[in-house]
């Protein structure tokens, strides 16, 4: 499929045109296909730079959320309508920022996982389920570009063109497999989930951190990361475009004495100006000047069980339980034809195996699973195999 059925719709970029779209989509019928494009790797943050919609009776719409940053009116007009998204958890945070949040949804990627499809990307799903090949190739472009080139807009419109058709076909397949109620519980959980909490110590996710062992070096990583983040936010560019993770780790390991020494390190080379080098060296020096008490601790405070590789030494019985539980869950997932992590999260299995209920039976294990956020269908499926594994 190379062209949207009604051609490429104009980009909505003013309040009058937006009001017309709201009226049209409010009067439409059936589910609404929704997608959003971000500028990951180009801009700071994960805001939406294009929102695409399609609904029976309204056709397709492309909305510029930079020109129309408040789409709460559209969100309200579609309240109570089922939204069809592909990989909903990726798009919902940026849609929430502009006032759009579904009360009901159908996630075609998650539906594909539960139905046992080996490839669940939108293109692969449309091809295997509907027999259409979508024009792909613009997913990783800089969507903050203005004006957006026509080939990108065509690609964006095609992303919602067949989403409702895909939803209908997947609903039938899930129903055939007896998994439709399971899928609905998953979709309801996504729609009801609160916004994610901000990460604690996000600098600890710097790529290559495993090489950094000493607290002083960790302090340099933190200081460089925070400096980079402030600059990236101010300039509205991706942090990786300001300074690479590899360069941050390199500087933390070397602890350079001055800007000249810093310039000799990978990532701080000849292209970097004197002022930039001095700014990064100042961050290194700030970390060097911290007292021992101000330096970050080597590891993050661990909540929950230790890493599984340490179980055999710390608690051999728990390690045996985990081994039996993993094998049982894996066999059940294969039998149900779905990925293990969609049947039950590995973290939930670890927690139940590390601290099982005092009396292990169906009731206590089901209660423990529900306490860790497992859905009713997951509890029903997984409880019998976990009871057997915990009692083995």
Q: Smallest Cα–Cα separation from 56: which of 79, 81, 29?
A: 29
Q: Residues 302-360: pLDDT tens digits? A: 678 998 999 999 999 999 999 999 999 999 999 999 999 999 999 999 999 999 999 99
**With pLDDT > 90 as the criterion, what percentage of the chain qualifies?**
91
Strands lying side by side in the sheet with 82-85: 11-12, 59-63, 48-56, 29-38, 82-85, 104-107
Q: Residues 267-288: pLDDT tens digits? A: 997 788 999 999 999 999 999 9
List, in sequence order, every beta strand (DSSP E) within the chain: 11-12, 29-38, 48-56, 59-63, 82-85, 104-107
Do residues 30 and 83 make contact, with C-beta atoms less than 8 angstroms apart? no
Task: Give the N- to C-terminal CA distance of the chain in Å, as an integer.
Answer: 54
Q: Band of the pLDDT at 386, cuts 50, 70, 90?
A: very high
Quote the CA–CA distance of 74 and 196 in Å, as a whole number. Answer: 23
The reply to whether domains 11-192 and 308-391 share a CATH topology is no
Quote the CA–CA distance of 228 and 239 in Å, as a whole number. Answer: 6
Mean pLDDT of 200-219: 95
Q: Is the pLDDT assigned to residue 135 strictly greater than 80?
A: no
Quote the CA–CA distance of 280 and 264 in Å, as a whole number. Answer: 13
Q: Which CATH number fits domain 308-391: 3.40.640.10, 3.40.367.20, 3.30.1390.20, 1.10.150.80?
A: 1.10.150.80
> Which pair of tokens denotes residue 322?
């985990």
Helices 180-192 and 163-176: angle between axes, nearest 10 degrees: 130
| Angstrom distances, CA of residue 143 to CA of 80, 138, 151 | 29, 9, 12
Q: Residues 47-71: pLDDT tens digits? A: 999 999 999 999 999 999 999 999 9
The model's pTM: 0.92
Do residues 200 and 302 make contact, with C-beta atoms less than 8 angstroms apart? no
Mean pLDDT of 73-83: 97
Q: How many helices (H) and strands (E) does the chain have?
A: 19, 6
Domain ranges within the chain, ordered by starting residue: 11-192, 202-289, 308-391
Q: Is the pLDDT assigned to residue 299 strictly greater than 80?
A: no
Q: Is the pLDDT assigned to residue 145 strictly greater than 70?
A: yes
Q: Band of the pLDDT at 301, cuts 50, 70, 90?
A: low
Assess if CATH 3.40.50.720 describes domain 202-289.
Answer: no
Q: Band of the pLDDT at 388, cuts 50, 70, 90?
A: very high
CATH number of 11-192: 3.30.420.10
């Amino acid at each position: 499929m190379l062209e949207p059925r009604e051609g490429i719709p104009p980009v909505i970029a003013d309040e009058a045109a937006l009001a017309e779209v709201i009226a049209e989509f409010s009067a439409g019928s059936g589910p609404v296909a929704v997608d959003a494009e971000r500028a990951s790797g180009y801009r700071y943050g994960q805001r939406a730079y294009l929102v695409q919609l399609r609904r029976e009776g309204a056709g397709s719409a492309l909305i510029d959320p930079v020109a129309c940053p408040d789409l709460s009116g559209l969100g309200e007009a579609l309240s109570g309508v089922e939204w069809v998204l592909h990989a909903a958890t990726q798009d919902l945070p940026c849609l929430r920022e502009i006032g759009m949040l579904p009360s009901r949804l159908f996630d075609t990627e998650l539906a594909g996982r539960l139905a046992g499809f080996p490839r669940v990307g939108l293109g692969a799903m449309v091809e295997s389920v509907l027999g259409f090949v979508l024009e792909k190739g613009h997913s990783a472009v800089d969507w903050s570009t203005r004006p957006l080139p026509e080939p990108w807009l065509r690609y964006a419109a095609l992303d919602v063109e067949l989403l409702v058709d895909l939803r209908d076909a997947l609903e039938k397949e899930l129903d055939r497999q007896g998994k439709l109620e399971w899928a609905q519980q998953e979709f309801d959980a996504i729609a009801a989930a609160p916004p994610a909490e901000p990460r604690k110590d996000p600098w600890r996710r710097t790529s290559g951190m495993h090489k950094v062992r000493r607290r002083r070096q960790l302090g340099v990583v933190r200081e460089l990361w925070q400096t980079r983040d402030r600059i990236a936010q101010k300039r509205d560019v991706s942090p990786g475009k300001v300074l690479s993770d590899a360069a941050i780790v390199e500087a933390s390991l070397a602890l350079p004495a001055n800007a000249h020494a810093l310039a000799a390190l990978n990532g701080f080379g000849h292209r970097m100006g004197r002022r930039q080098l001095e700014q990064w060296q100042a961050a290194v020096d700030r970390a060097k000047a911290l007292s021992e008490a101000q330096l970050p601790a080597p590891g993050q405070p661990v909540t929950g069980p230790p890493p599984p590789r340490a179980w055999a030494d710390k608690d051999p019985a728990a390690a045996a339980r985990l081994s039996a539980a993993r094998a049982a869950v894996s066999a059940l997932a294969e039998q149900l034809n779905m990925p293990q992590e969609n049947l039950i999260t590995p973290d939930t299995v670890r927690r139940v195996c590390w601290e099982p209920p005092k009396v292990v039976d169906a009731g206590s294990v089901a209660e423990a699973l529900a306490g860790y956020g497992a859905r009713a269908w997951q509890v029903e499926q997984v409880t019998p195999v976990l009871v057997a594994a915990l009692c083995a």
